[in-house]
A and B are shown apart, each in its own frame.
Chain A
């Protein structure tokens, strides 16, 4: 009986009783170590010495498989929220960590995931300040769901970073190869054999964006992180909301050759595939070469490239221009990509 408790998560781990306390203090807080600064009080209270604006965000993470080739759901849960803050111009400071665990989840797996949370938080230089753990019956979640909320601070000089700052003629830059996270996960899940060659790009981008903004904030209008739905979805949202005609040059999109092969086999368009460590930014074309050069200095920005440009228009639309100069509409996907051809 005790043995099982040590090996797997059981319902009593979430009742708030002694067993819960053990799980939290031993497995979670114990693993997080210095990254965890919560005090087991009702809320985290901090005195602010930072001037500027508060940025806050939250995200829930559900991934199958939870542990993939070069990362796991813990890493994604930290990077996702850190990147959401960072693209708003914020320096991420604090994260909360809420777990929903499925009864039967091996404790070993949980430790591994929490260790990834710790490593990613260390890299991103954020603290975990509060947490919560619930356990649900078998089948009610798939092994583990994680929610993180994050707080950061935006200096005054970065508050212009918003969609409405985008101007006619801006260049569009992406910081990494498109679609790797999606292909890696899908290939892991279905056994397609690409998982060794295409790795997830999951990474915290805040340091790279910090140094980029320090030099080029004035030339950058707006940043977005490219996650679920891919670049196609990010750009369509902006095009609609800001009435932009966005044109992408198909040939300039950074796409790893194996990702392209996998996309072709699967019949998916990499423009709709997810990343977890890619930023898309709109910039003054006079500085776009410098911005790309700056991004390329960083590990996570080595594939950076200018991929398109914007025009103010009466109604928003995203067009892909192919090698031959033909343009095709990049649609706003409603759900999954459905077949449509005759």
Chain B
């Protein structure tokens, strides 16, 4: 520094990590640097963004402040690391540049989730004077596909499925202009140079149409089923006002009862069908554009079959230009459901989709922008309690969230967690960041297993992780466990299902590694004693737990079969409770089968033939639904529990509504909630003529809440712990979730539930990763 001037300037080099690529971060930095008349450069690399600036001291400081608080909407900074800070002489004529991406080094960039159409692009889409008027692939740095089209990092056009489209001069000019909203928008395109939409028949042959969108809309209006390629895969779209069309969709897709999701252009239109407060509206409009479960309005102009038997519609807002064009001015709402055959993975490649969906869809609206990674729509529910205020809880975490990380409470060694068998997701981590895959599905389905293998390979590669340990479920026959056993190169840790659930809810709430009470209620997980668990009370933490209580075991006559024919569970209770006298009970459930079948069940129950035991609260809901005649068989998972919840209504928890809670203890001193005593009470209420299903359901729900509170009270007395975490699919029941939260809070507990992850098995992989990570910290030998 030789010169006449004093070095009153400042030179900084900083590394920024977070969601900083593909979201207009560099142009933002460029604009900011120019505003403060600073010199230097900004560059993307495989680990984030590096910025070098120099200029007058005050200007550099101001620049740094704006950098973190005036971010573009889709960006998020997780860390700013100042690598060098030196005094300097401010350059006389400031010059700031955006440098080419460098491709060396470790992969640490966060890949951005896919983004919904931003308001600017939406306005241009419908502006006849704009050069992208009605162009179905309009996007900018604030919106458009990301994760689903990215092949590799750094995020640059050659690393996306857009690489095959050569930009026209107009697009190129925008792409190169740091002051343009489309500067380095990798999926940039227009009608002259970008992807095109076409309508095809079920053989993939083009259907001639002047305007593919208009032709598609005509078909929808005629009651046809359209397969439409979206961001993360294909959807099946149908007009929800047309009962015949809805019925056809259901029978062809073989989804006979499960509710179908709806899409509207904006929340104003959506409020014609569902009721929403400010919180629900904000959730619906939130950046990931999830499907939100919202209460139906009555009367409702839609076919009743859209979501029969439930109080709610799954509602989402249009998130791609194609959706906006399809809805615009003609449809208030469309049924938009993932395009797959029952539970197969969502279709995402043109040829496969046309082949596999030709018996479902009448026509296909496809395009030539390839989807690299499939990703389903996310599903959220909104709930509230006095204690927490309004909150959301994911039912399925996928598009809009994946592949963003979920923080871990501390940095853990690299681990690959393989998840459960149903609603499978997998999870890997880099330090304290856990990356969950989107929903993979039910591994027992032939096609899902292939998707599972692809997801593992892709997730590990994309995040540049070399796992030291593989974690899977305790169940030896889960296909994820079999996968782990087939990989010889890594040590394996098998984690009990409900322990993983508990670790997941602790981890995402950032709880430290301290003894906690875990209440985990779900449908099924193999327990350490070989029985089927699902109504568990634990005391413990990440690396280990102790089973300190559970709902007392009851019978599942016929094993898995009883999870579909739920009357078997109720019949199991009745024969246990009343023996031969069960035949004399005037209960709806005793009338569902011929006597011959009841006799066989009686023998199976009496002699424990093919009759495993379970402590599952999910199954207890089924038993109550069957006992009271709500239904005796289910067509989709949790159907009976959902209907029972609808009957319970929204009334709060009342102590006087509760049935007696009978607590016992077993030989190991565990607290048992006596399920037989509870079912005997329900049976008394349900003896024909059943007075009020609403009342029975309400009282049952309240009793489950009271049982939780009483057991937690005893555990607090015994262990001196007052942190309670709630997990497992049963806590998707809003009555149970909100009333348990409030009642525990009233009794002085600190209560935590899921916010970012599903309480169902979709969150298991993250919990497995935590159990594995903390076990590894405690005992590094596992991995050697």
A residues neighboring B (CB under 8 Å): 186, 190-193, 264-268, 317, 319, 324-329, 331, 333-335, 337-342
Q: Is B610 part of the binding interface, using a Cβ–Cβ cutoff of 8 Å?
A: yes
Among B437-465, those with CB < 8 Å from A are 444-447, 449
- Would B560 and A266 count as touching, CB distance under 8 A? no
Selected from A328, A337, A338, the residue in CB contact (under 8 A) with B446 is A328
Q: Which residues of B contact A325 (CB under 8 A)?
A: 341
- Name the residue on B nearest A333 (C-beta): B477
- Would A265 and B475 count as touching, CB distance under 8 A? no
- Would A342 and B609 count as touching, CB distance under 8 A? no
Q: 6 shortest A-B CB distances, which residue pairs?
A: A267-B558, A267-B561, A342-B523, A327-B446, A339-B559, A341-B563
- Would A334 and B523 count as touching, CB distance under 8 A? no
Q: Which residues of A contact B607 (CB under 8 A)?
A: 190-191
Q: How far is A18 from B563 in the complex, measured between Cα atoms in Å?
A: 60
Q: How far is A193 from B341 in the complex, measured between Cα atoms in Å?
A: 39
Tell me how far the C-beta of A65 lies from the nearest C-beta in chain B, rounded to whole angstroms.
14
- Would B563 and A329 count as touching, CB distance under 8 A? no
- Would B562 and A334 count as touching, CB distance under 8 A? no
Q: How far is A337 from B560 in the complex, measured between Cα atoms in Å?
A: 10
- Would B609 and A266 count as touching, CB distance under 8 A? yes
Q: Which residues of A contact B557 (CB under 8 A)?
A: 267
Report 28 cross-chain contacts, Cβ distance below 8 Å, ordered by A residue.
Answer: A190-B607, A191-B603, A192-B600, A192-B604, A193-B603, A265-B601, A267-B559, A267-B562, A267-B610, A317-B446, A324-B342, A326-B254, A326-B341, A326-B344, A327-B446, A327-B447, A328-B444, A328-B445, A328-B446, A329-B479, A337-B559, A339-B560, A341-B560, A341-B563, A342-B422, A342-B523, A342-B524, A342-B618
Q: Which residues of B contact A329 (CB under 8 A)?
A: 444-446, 449, 479
Q: A338-B475, A342-B761 are in contact. Are A190 and B445 (CB under 8 A)?
A: no
Q: Which residues of B contact A339 (CB under 8 A)?
A: 524, 532, 556, 559-560, 563, 612, 614
- Name the residue on A nearest B478 (C-beta): A340
Selected from A265, A268, A334, the residue in CB contact (under 8 A) with B600 is A265
Q: Is B599 part of the binding interface, using a Cβ–Cβ cutoff of 8 Å?
A: yes
- Would A186 and B254 count as touching, CB distance under 8 A? no
- Name the residue on A nearest B599 (C-beta): A193
Q: Is B81 part of the binding interface, using a Cβ–Cβ cutoff of 8 Å?
A: no
Q: How far is A191 from B600 in the complex, measured between Cα atoms in Å?
A: 9
Binary interface encoding of chain B residues 532-559 relative to chain A, with 1 for a CB under 8 A from any of its CBs, else 0: 1000000000000000000000001111
Tell me how far the C-beta of B35 lies from the nearest C-beta in chain A, rounded to whole angstroms.
55
- Name the residue on A nearest B610 (C-beta): A266
Q: How far is A338 from B563 in the complex, measured between Cα atoms in Å?
A: 13
- Would B597 and A265 count as touching, CB distance under 8 A? yes
Tell me how far the C-beta of B239 lies from the nearest C-beta in chain A, rounded to whole angstroms.
25
By secondary structure, the A interface counts as: loop
Binary interface encoding of chain B residues 329-342 relative to chain A, with 1 for a CB under 8 A from any of its CBs, else 0: 00000000000011
Q: How far is A334 from B449 in the complex, measured between Cα atoms in Å?
A: 19
Q: Which residues of B contact A340 (CB under 8 A)?
A: 421, 475, 477-478, 524, 560
Tell me how far the C-beta of A196 lies from the nearest C-beta in chain B, rounded to whole angstroms.
13
Q: How far is A265 from B444 in the complex, measured between Cα atoms in Å?
A: 22
Among B626-671, those with CB < 8 Å from A are 637
- Name the residue on A nearest B344 (C-beta): A326
Q: Is B48 part of the binding interface, using a Cβ–Cβ cutoff of 8 Å?
A: no
Q: How far is A341 from B422 in the complex, measured between Cα atoms in Å?
A: 8
Q: How far is A329 from B452 in the complex, measured between Cα atoms in Å?
A: 14
Determine which residue in A319, A337, A339 has the highest number of CB atoms from chain B within 10 A of its CB, and name it: A339
Among B554-601, those with CB < 8 Å from A are 556-563, 596-597, 599-601
Q: Is B370 part of the binding interface, using a Cβ–Cβ cutoff of 8 Å?
A: no
Binary interface encoding of chain B residues 79-119 relative to chain A, with 1 for a CB under 8 A from any of its CBs, else 0: 00000000000000000000000000000000000000000
Q: Which residues of A contact B563 (CB under 8 A)?
A: 339, 341-342
Q: How far is A340 from B559 in the complex, measured between Cα atoms in Å?
A: 9
Tell me how far the C-beta of A194 lies from the nearest C-beta in chain B, rounded to whole angstroms.
8
Tell me how far the C-beta of B61 lies from the nearest C-beta in chain A, rounded to whole angstroms.
55
Tell me how far the C-beta of B243 lies from the nearest C-beta in chain A, rounded to whole angstroms.
23
Q: Is B729 part of the binding interface, using a Cβ–Cβ cutoff of 8 Å?
A: yes
- Name the residue on B nearest A190 (C-beta): B609
- Name the residue on B nearest A339 (C-beta): B559
- Would A266 and B254 count as touching, CB distance under 8 A? no
Determine which residue in A186, A337, A338, A340 has the highest number of CB atoms from chain B within 10 A of its CB, and name it: A340
Q: Is B221 part of the binding interface, using a Cβ–Cβ cutoff of 8 Å?
A: no
Q: A190-B607, A340-B477 are in contact. Are A264 and B561 (CB under 8 A)?
A: yes
Tell me how far the C-beta of A33 lies from the nearest C-beta in chain B, rounded to whole angstroms.
40
Q: Is B476 part of the binding interface, using a Cβ–Cβ cutoff of 8 Å?
A: yes
Tell me how far the C-beta of B356 lies from the nearest C-beta in chain A, rounded to whole angstroms.
10
Q: How far is A40 from B226 in the complex, measured between Cα atoms in Å?
A: 81
- Name the residue on A nearest B728 (C-beta): A342
- Name the residue on A nearest B597 (C-beta): A265
Q: How far is A311 from B604 in the complex, measured between Cα atoms in Å?
A: 40
Q: Is B522 part of the binding interface, using a Cβ–Cβ cutoff of 8 Å?
A: yes
- Would A334 and B477 count as touching, CB distance under 8 A? yes
Q: Which residues of B contact A334 (CB under 8 A)?
A: 476-477
Q: How far is A334 from B530 in the complex, measured between Cα atoms in Å?
A: 14
- Would A338 and B477 count as touching, CB distance under 8 A? yes
